[in-house]
């Protein structure tokens, strides 16, 4: 199926590495021009070059999603340089693991600020140009931790659950302007950058601990950045134009919320 993304313009936050980088690359493979937004400048520029090598326009805009002026500048630059914004995939996030009773207050603030306020800043800033063109697709990257909870990830789960509630309200507000808003909710996902972290948390491939974790997934395996990126790009395309206000898990059946 042709997703019809050729010549479209997509902003991807948190795209200097990990899932976001693969989302940006997948857009480029589909012929969409991409705007890479991240706080990591060198890596972000490298991803823009990677996308350009696939034959599309790509640019990096240094953006801290917690700063509204940065996000405003991101959207203005995208419109100025690329002519419009058809899609936003908001992927930027951070997480912290540990028991809530021992989690310093500053840490919750940081997680909520990046994950939840970052999403709200980005959703707010793209709404204007999308409403003016009476069309647009917004995809927030959530987490199954925000759908069903995770004992060691309270602040992160709160932020991701907040994104889900926010996106449903935003979908209702922006629907009459032709804008879709959805959340893609990954389970544990392997990326080029998190191999070491995953091994520390759940053991290596073949280890008993990792097998125990995988047994919580209906498909008995963890996801890859490509698994998530394919669905993100689909939700950001006109092919998913009648889907809005939804939370879609891309987690191999880790959570099956009706």
Ligand X SMILES: NC(=O)c1ccc[n+]([C@@H]2O[C@H](COP(=O)([O-])OP(=O)(O)OC[C@H]3O[C@@H](n4cnc5c(N)ncnc54)[C@H](O)[C@@H]3O)[C@@H](O)[C@H]2O)c1
Residues that bind ligand X (CB under 6 A): 13-14, 16-20, 38-40, 63-66, 91-95, 114, 118, 141, 143, 186, 188-189, 191, 193-194
Token pair 């302007």 is at which residue? Answer: 177
20 vs 161, which CB is nearer to ligand X?
20
136 vs 186, which CB is nearer to ligand X?
186
Minimum separation from the CB atom of position 225 to ligand X (A): 7
Catalytic status, residue 254: no
**How many Cα atoms are found within 13 Å in the side-chain-facing hemisphere of 239?**
14
**How many Cα atoms are found within 13 Å in the side-chain-facing hemisphere of 23?**
34
Q: Which residue from 60, 2, 56 is spatially nearest to 32, judged by alpha carbons?
A: 56
Which of 68, 156, 217, 254 does the annotation list as catalytic? Answer: 156
Minimum separation from the CB atom of position 231 to ligand X (A): 12
DSSP calls for 28-40: HHTT-EEEEEES-
13 vs 154, which CB is nearer to ligand X?
13
Q: Supply 24's token pair.
A: 């940006």
d(CA 232, CA 90): 10
Q: Which residue from 59, 63, 54 is spatially nearest to 25, judged by alpha carbons?
A: 54
Rg (C-alpha) for the chain, rounded Å, is: 17
48 vs 65, which CB is nearer to ligand X?
65
92 vs 158, which CB is nearer to ligand X?
92
Q: Which residue from 30, 1, 18 is spatially nearest to 10, judged by alpha carbons?
A: 30
Burial of 204 (0-12, 13-18, 19+ CB in 10 A): exposed
What is residue 53's three-state secondary structure?
coil
Minimum separation from the CB atom of position 178 to ligand X (A): 26
Minimum separation from the CB atom of position 154 to ligand X (A): 14
Token pair 């394919």 is at which residue? Answer: 230
Minimum separation from the CB atom of position 251 to ligand X (A): 8
Minimum separation from the CB atom of position 132 to ligand X (A): 25
Which residue's CB atom is positioned nearest to ligand X? 18
64 vs 238, which CB is nearer to ligand X?
64
d(CA 94, CA 202): 19
Active site residues: 156
């Amino acid at each position: 199926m042709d997703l019809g993304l050729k010549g479209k313009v997509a902003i991807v936050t948190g795209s200097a590495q990990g899932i976001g980088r693969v989302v940006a690359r997948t857009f480029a493979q589909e012929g969409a021009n991409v705007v890479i937004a991240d706080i990591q400048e060198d890596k972000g520029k490298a991803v823009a070059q990677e996308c350009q090598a696939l034959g599309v326009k790509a640019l990096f805009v240094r953006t801290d999603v917690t700063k509204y002026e940065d996000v405003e500048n991101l959207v203005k630059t995208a419109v100025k340089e690329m002519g419009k914004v058809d899609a936003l995939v908001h992927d930027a996030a951070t997480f912290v693991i540990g028991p809530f009773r021992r989690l310093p207050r500053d840490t919750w603030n940081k997680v909520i600020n990046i994950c939840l306020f970052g999403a709200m800043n980005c959703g707010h800033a793209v709404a204007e140009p999308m409403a003016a063109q009476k069309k647009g697709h917004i995809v927030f990257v959530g987490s199954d931790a925000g759908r069903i909870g995770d004992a060691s990830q309270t602040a992160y789960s709160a932020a991701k659950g907040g994104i889900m509630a926010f996106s449903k309200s935003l979908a209702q507000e922006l629907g009459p302007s032709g804008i879709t808003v959805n959340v893609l909710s990954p389970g544990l996902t392997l990326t080029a950058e998190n191999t070491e972290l995953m091994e520390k948390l759940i053991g290596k491939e073949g280890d008993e601990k990792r097998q125990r974790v995988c047994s919580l997934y209906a498909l008995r395996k963890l996801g890859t950045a490509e698994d998530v990126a394919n669905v993100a790009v689909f939700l950001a395309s006109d092919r998913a134009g009648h889907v809005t206000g939804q939370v879609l898990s891309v987690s191999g059946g880790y959570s099956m919320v009706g």
